[in-house]
Amino acid sequence: MQHYSAFSLARHALSHHKNWQSAWRKADPKPRYDAVIIGGGGHGLSTAYYLAKNHGMKRVAVLERGWIGGGNTGRNTTAVRSNYFYPESVALYDLSLRLYEGLSKELNYNIMLSQRGMLIAAHTPIQMEICNRIANAMQLNGVDGRLMTAAEAEEKAPLVNKSKGARYKCMGGIWQDRAGTARHDAVAWGYARAASAMGIDIIENCEVTEVFTSSGAVAGVETTRGKIQTERLGVAAAGATPGLVQMVGGDLPIHNYDLQAFVSEPVKPCLDTVLLYLGTGTYVSQSDKGELVIGGGLDRVPTHGQKGNLPTQETVISGLLEMFPAFAQLKLLRQWAGVVDVVPDSSPVIGPVGPEGMFVNCGWGTGGFKAIPAGGYLLAHLLATGEHHDISRPFDLNRFAQGRLIDEAAGSGIAH
């Protein structure tokens, strides 16, 4: 093991990365792979890792048209949780949370998981009834979750608006102990480093322009860096997935919207949980640097852009100030958007599509980051075996034809 003195660490820190060792190999494409994954975000990188780790498949390429983690993986509010309503959703998201809980040790890379808990706060008797129903469902599904009183909620978030004139006075809500946050870019980098160390080729600035088929099966892809042959193709490209599926004559029921987020200037620790207000749709947590990370509802204008706008800012920030009037004097440092891929029942699509050998992992909507480990784990199983894992089977595309919808937006009463 190499050791560094304080002086050498300072010298490397001031070297503008010149002496830093690369965390993963900058690979060039080979003519052929056993499997190709389109999308170098968290889901694509985790798929490659689990293909190598769980199934021994190492002749695998991850193709990213930009840089890894440059899409939704780097443009989210970092929450991880499994407080969902339907058994199928709980199984999926709790698999992800369990994988997150051991991920820093498994990857030997600190993803900065902080299980500080999450409160979904209610403001009306009807919302409390919804929270009661979800808490019961979580317990029946074997996931930690309980109903919280108003006094308990106010103890978790002491600065919350308790004034008599509060428009959305907290009446209590749902609490999940194991929920929290993780560092988004660390998740991508950790998976990339581990996958690369096992021989996976991570190829950036490589856009897929065509998908080839032969006798009804995948044969390869044409890219901006040449043709690549493969018989197994995984697509984990979020909002770009429908366009890639259209290359083989397929169609996905996906609409793309912006989900905008904001970061404030740093302040001293004042919020040690993740808090979502049902009344406003605004949610907030505080980062390790002291910044408030703030999000809200979807901007329901179809788009592939990644820009914020003032009307959404006004809606989200006004919701924040209803929650915490004390934050009114804070300055915003950044505003951005991620392009979320939304399907009619607000649940993901995981499974085969189009020609034999082609599988998708998409439609996560606002839940993509929290699902990265499970999404990769399940897509890797599909690519390696050609068959569904029991957890992914309910999320097959055929559920729309069969009427087996898993409508979490309706079941949970929230859009996130």
Could you list the pLDDT tens digit for every one of the 416 residues in the chain?
Answer: 445 566 666 666 666 667 778 889 999 999 999 999 999 999 999 999 999 999 999 999 999 999 999 999 999 999 999 999 999 999 999 999 999 999 999 999 999 999 999 999 999 999 999 899 999 999 999 999 999 999 999 999 999 999 988 999 999 999 999 999 999 999 999 999 999 999 999 999 999 999 999 999 999 999 999 999 999 999 999 999 999 999 999 999 999 999 999 999 999 999 999 999 998 999 999 999 999 999 998 888 888 888 888 899 999 999 999 999 999 999 999 999 988 999 999 999 999 999 999 999 999 998 999 999 999 999 999 999 999 999 999 999 999 999 999 998 765 555 44
Domain count for the chain: 2
**CA distances (Å), origin 283, targets 69, 317, 402:** 23, 10, 35
Q: Tell me, yes or no, whether 356 and 312 share the same domain.
A: no
Tell me which residue range forms the domain holding 148. Answer: 118-177+255-342
Encode 155-179: b = buried (16+ Cβ within 10 Å), e = exposed: ebbeebbeeeeeebbbbbbbbbebb
> What pLDDT, on the 0 to 100 scale, is given for residue 14?
67
Q: Tell me, yes or no, whether 249 and 397 share the same domain.
A: yes
Maximum C-alpha span of the chain: 70
Residue 154 structure tokens:
């106010």
Among candidate residues 340, 323, 337, 332, the one with its CA nearest the CA of residue 280: 323
pTM above 0.75, yes or no: yes
> Strand (E) positions, 65-179?
79-80, 118-122, 146-149, 172-176
Give residue 254's Cα distance to chain centre: 17
Q: Tell me, yes or no, whether 311 and 246 share the same domain.
A: no
Q: Tell me, yes or no, whether 321 and 337 share the same domain.
A: yes
Query: Is residue 111 a part of any domain in this protein?
Result: no
| Whole-number Å distance between alpha carbons of 2 and 190 | 20
Among candidate residues 311, 314, 262, 263, the one with its CA nearest the CA of residue 289: 263
Residue ending a domain, among 284, 312, 342, is: 342
